[in-house]
A and B are shown apart, each in its own frame.
Chain A
Amino acid sequence: MAEPLIRIRGLGYRYPEAAEESLSDVDLEIEPGELIVLAGRSGSGKTTLLRACCGLVPHYHGGDVRGEIQVAGLDVREHGPAELGSVVGLVSQDPETQVVSTTVRAELELPLEMRGEAAAARSRAVEEVALALAMAQLLDRPVDILSGGELQRVALAAALVGRPHLVLLDEPTSQLDPVAGDELIGLLRRLNGEWGTAILIAEHRLERCLAACDRAIAMAGGRVAFDGAPRDHLRWALKHDPALATPGARLFDLAGLGTPPVGVKEARQALSDRGVEPLDESVPGPARNGSRRSPPSGSALDVRKAWVELDDGNTARDVLRGVHLSIARGERVALMGRNGAGKTTLLRAAAGRVDTVRGKVLAPGGCALCPQSPGDLFVRERVSDELPGETGRSALAATGLEWAMEADPRDLSGGERQRLALAIVMAGRAGQAGVPGLLCLDEPTRGLDRARKGDLAAWTAGLTARGAAVLIATHDVEFAASFAERVVLLGDGEVIADGPVTEVLSGGWYFATEIARILGAGGAILPERGAELVRERLARASGGVVAR
Chain B
Amino acid sequence: MRSPIAYRPRRTPLAQAGAFAASVYLTSLAVVAFVCSNPIVLAGAGLGVVVAGLAAKAGRALAASARWGFSLGVFIVLVNGLVAQRGDTVIVYGLWLPLLGHTDVSAEALAEGGVLALRILVVMMAFAVHAASVDPDRVLRMLRPLARRSALTATLIARLVPLAAADYVRLGEAAALRGPAAAPVGRAALARRLVAGSLDRAVDVAATLELRGYAHGPPRSARGGPRPRYVARFIVVGIAIGALAVGARIAGVGAYDSYPTVDVATSMPTLLLAAAVPVLAGLPFATATGGWRRRG
B-chain residues with CB within 8 Å of residue A385 when the two chains form the complex: 183
Cβ contact of A85, chosen from B135, B206, B210, cutoff 8 A: B210
B293 at the interface (CB under 8 A from A): no
Indicate if the CB atoms of B211 and A89 lie closer than 8 Å. yes
In the complex, are the beta carbons of B170 and A387 less than 8 A apart? Answer: no
Contact call B182/A392, Cβ cutoff below 8 A: yes
Q: Is B151 an interface residue (CB 8 A)?
A: yes
Interface residues of B in 176-194 (CB under 8 A from A): 176-183, 185, 189-190, 192-193
Contact present for B183 and A376 (CB under 8 Å): no
Inter-chain contact B180/A427, CB cutoff 8 Å: yes
Does A200 belong to the interface (CB within 8 Å)? Answer: no
Bound complex: CA of A106 vs CA of B140, how far in Å? 12
Given known A100-B155, A144-B2, contact A428–B179 (CB-CB < 8 A): yes
Q: Does B294 touch A at the CB level, under 8 Å?
A: no
CB distance from B60 to the nearest CB of A (A): 11
Do the beta carbons of B137 and A102 come within 8 Å of each other?
yes
Question: What is the CA–CA distance of A103 and B166 in the complex, to the nearest angstrom?
Answer: 14
B174 x A114 contact (CB < 8 A): no
Query: Which residue of chain B has its CB nearest to the CB of A88?
Result: B211
Scoring A residues 393 to 417 as 1 if CB is less than 8 Å from chain B, else 0, what string do you get?
0010000000000000000000000
Residue tally, chain A, CB below 8 Å to B: 66
Q: Restricting to B221-250, which residues have a CB under 8 Å from any CB of A?
A: 222-225
User: Quick one: which of B6, B136, B166, B177 contacts A353, CB cutoff 8 A?
Assistant: B177
CB-defined contacts of A427 to chain B, threshold 8 Å: 178-182
Within 8 A of B (CB), among A423-457: 424-429
Q: Mark A181-203, 1 if CB is under 8 A from B, else 0.
A: 00000000000000000000000
Instruction: Tell me if A377 and B208 are in contact (CB < 8 A).
Output: no
Expressed in whole angstroms, the minimum distance between the Cβ of B56 and any Cβ of chain A is 15
Residue pair B173, A377 in contact (C-beta under 8 Å): no
B213 close to chain A: CB less than 8 A = yes
Distance A83 CA – B193 CA, assembled complex (angstroms): 33
Given contacts A85-B210, A102-B7, contact A116 B218 (CB under 8 A): yes
Known: A88-B211, A110-B212, A115-B217. A97 touches B205 (CB 8 A): yes
Q: Give A377-398 as 1s and 0s: 1 = Cβ < 8 Å from B's Cβ atoms.
A: 1111000011111011001000
Q: What separation, in Å, do the CA atoms of A387 and B174 have in the docked complex? A: 15
Nearest residue (CB) in A for B2 is A313
- Bound CA–CA A113/B217 (angstroms): 11
Nearest CB in chain B to that of A80: its residue = B210
Interface-located stretch among A215-223, A290-298, A365-373: A365-373
B residues lining the A interface (CB < 8 Å): 1-3, 6-9, 135-137, 140-141, 151, 155, 159, 162, 166, 170-171, 173-183, 185, 189-190, 192-193, 201, 203-218, 220, 222-225
